[in-house]
Amino acid sequence: MSFGLALTGLHAAVLLTAAAAAVVGSGRRALSLLGITDAAGPERTWAGASLGLGFLSIGTMGLAFLGLLKVWPAALLLAGLLVWGRPELKPALREVRGPWEAPACLAAACAWGLALWWVCLMPPHQYDSLVYHLALPETYVREGRLVSPSHLLYSHFPQNGEMLFSLALLLKSDALAQMFMWLSTVLCLGWVFAAVKRELGPGPAWLALGLAGTHTALMLLAAITYVEPLVMLWTCSAVLACWRWLADSRNGQGAKSWLHLSAVFSGLALGTKYTAGATAGLLALTALIRPFLAQEGKTAWKQGLKDSVLYSSIVLALFLPWLVKNSLVIGNPVFPFLYSWFPMTGSGWGAETAQRYFRILAEYGHGESWLKDLVTLPYQLLFRFSRYGGGMDVLGCLGWTPVLAAGVLALWPALKAGACPGPEPSRTRSFLRFVLVYCGLHFLIWFATGTVLRFLTAAAPLLALLASAGLSAVWNASSRVPRFLIAGLGIALTGVNLGYFLFVHRVLETDRVLLGRETREAYLERRLDYYACASWCRESLGPNDRILLVGEQRAYYLGKDHVASTVNAPNHWVALAEEAASPEDLSAKLKAEGLTTVLFVPGEMARLFPALGPLTERGLANLAGLPGSGKLKFQGRRCGVFSL
């Protein structure tokens, strides 16, 4: 490890420690205020920290809305949460006695966590991170407030995750941004472990942790700035909190507090990614039908309706800031959905453009037969995983076979009393049935939409929970030879998942940076066509310069006001190129738009060209002649910077 990387890691580790203490303390204290007193031991810490991370995100969002996204207000937010939660830190530390009954498993889990934390020290280079997950927070930090760049439609999506990234960039650490996703993964798996240990016992708990922890997609996403780990955390938290309410619903107000907490988690998840709407809808429906399932009488529907409305109201309240912001900025509160109801939006989208966007999103959809795709899904996951995600989306397509195949086995202990491995068979069967129904419906909603497999990672730890229950039941009922076969198959599939993980990082050449064989700057310049020019612009241009990126969507690392190209909406510079009479006229038109500099990335432009907009020979000639009408400021190997 190089000195620079070690310094980056130390800086991020200090910030992560402070943030973790703030979310643990504030979250645990909030649980007490909610009336949740029956969460004991580490489970209280997992639940509290999951809630505290929401406080950190919402607090940063508040600063961004108020135009106070500066270092000192952010530091005060972090310090305020830390001070408020300080009384809970010592109890949290005392309760972390550890599951010492399995020291080898504990050591393996700690080694796993440390290894993934180390990967977080890699410089961000994933496509979506550079296009918007980090590019938007970089813009917010530069402006000191929440803004909506005209070229970036993703700025109109829910952004609880981007608020955490903004906080990290404000504290000068994109490694911390990646570590927030690592922390989300750890908290999620910790809570799932605690829940399985309580309901099924320590053996299935360790098995569930192993299945989830070696899920390739979860490992890959845990160390980058994609928001899936955060959605996963709050989705699983909502489901587990809802189960506590269902299981303890006869205990009065304390149990009802679990329902309220579940709604908070659902709202936080929905404020992170639209796909979490499935969780909010399913759990609100659970609240509605619970009295009927419990056979509480003919008037029970009133209580069910009341619980469901309250649940939905809490979710809506947490999602409301993004709805209001979109309504004010572009006129469509749920952009990009319902585009036929809100055709005149401030985004420049017409119905045709919106339809093209959704066609791109569903490019991994179903073929001729929905049922055939469902039946052949195991084969697709084993041999054609890019069927449900290509490019960088392939990160979410790896490692699904063990949890999906073994998850079906949970039907046996859920339905047969003698096969249930838990300490309280009746309660354990109810627990497994609830998780089975939720996961089944969640899976069907995902599958019916025909979208990328990465979006299903929100339920992956719950699938691992089911798989552990099913495998434990089969193991307990098997003789020596079947157990030998089960163990062998499990080791083989785990090896495949770990092999996928190492292969991806081999392709990405992660070891070159993490082992100190290459600097961060050299790695980025080698992998990203635009990076050399972006680095020059960041260091050399003034605060009043405004840059047009021709042929490049990725803008993180630029650090200056800019307009990037996009494949999801009309590019204004394309229209100007078509209108201009000459390259000089195009240069004048761009200057009239407030642009001072053009960053050309010819290789990326050639790759994206068909989707950037219709260009005639005249428009192409104007673009080709644009560098000649300006002054070359910097020439990289695969990019160039010209002044207008």
pLDDT digits (tens, 9 = 90+) for 14-50: 999 999 999 999 999 999 999 888 887 889 999 999 9
Q: What pLDDT score was predicted for residue 448?
A: 83
Minimal CA–CA distance to 154: which of 528, 546, 553, 552?
A: 553
Average per-residue pLDDT for the chain: 89
DSSP 388: G
pLDDT in tens, 176-196: 999 999 999 999 999 999 999
Gap between the Cα atoms of 551 and 136, Å rounded: 18
Gap between the Cα atoms of 628 and 114, Å rounded: 52
Amino acid letter at 62?
A: G
CB 571 within 8 A of CB 613: yes
CB 443 within 8 A of CB 436: no
Gap between the Cα atoms of 595 and 588, Å rounded: 10
Q: What pLDDT score was predicted for residue 302?
A: 84
- 98 pLDDT more than 60: no
Label residues 370-409 b or e (16+ Cβ within 10 Å = b).
eeebeeebeebbeeebebbbeebbbbbbbbbbbbbbbbeb
pLDDT in tens, 52-69: 999 999 999 999 999 999
Name the burial class of residue 165, with classes exposed (0-12), middle (13-18) and buried (19+) by CB atoms within 10 angstroms of its CB: buried
**Helix spans in 200-299 (H):** 202-213, 216-221, 228-247, 253-270, 277-293
CB 292 within 8 A of CB 275: no
Instruction: Give the neighbor-by-neighbor strand order of the sheet with 631-635.
Output: 561-563, 546-550, 597-600, 640-643, 631-635
Position 366 confidence tier, pLDDT thresholds 50, 70, 90: low
Pairing of strands 640-643, 597-600: antiparallel
One DSSP character per residue, 108-147 reads HHHHHHHHHHHHTTSPP--HHIIIIITHHHHHHHHHTS--
Q: What pLDDT score was predicted for residue 332?
A: 86
Rounded to a whole number of angstroms, the CA Rg of the chain reads: 25
Is the entire prediction scored with pTM above 0.85? yes
Label residues 619-640 b or e (16+ Cβ within 10 Å = b).
bebbbebbbebbeebbebebbb
pLDDT in tens, 585-632: 999 999 999 999 999 999 999 898 888 888 888 888 888 888 776 688
CB 283 within 8 A of CB 239: yes
Instruction: Provide the CA 29 distance to its chain's centre, in angstroms.
Output: 26
pLDDT in tens, 526-538: 999 999 999 999 9
- 473 pLDDT more than 60: yes
Gap between the Cα atoms of 19 and 168, Å rounded: 10
pLDDT in tens, 247-304: 887 555 457 899 999 999 999 999 999 999 999 999 999 999 988 877 666 677 788 8
Distance between first and last Cα of the chain: 42
- Residue 549, strand partner residues: 599
- Of all residues in the chain, the percent with pLDDT exceeding 70 is 90
Gap between the Cα atoms of 409 and 415, Å rounded: 11
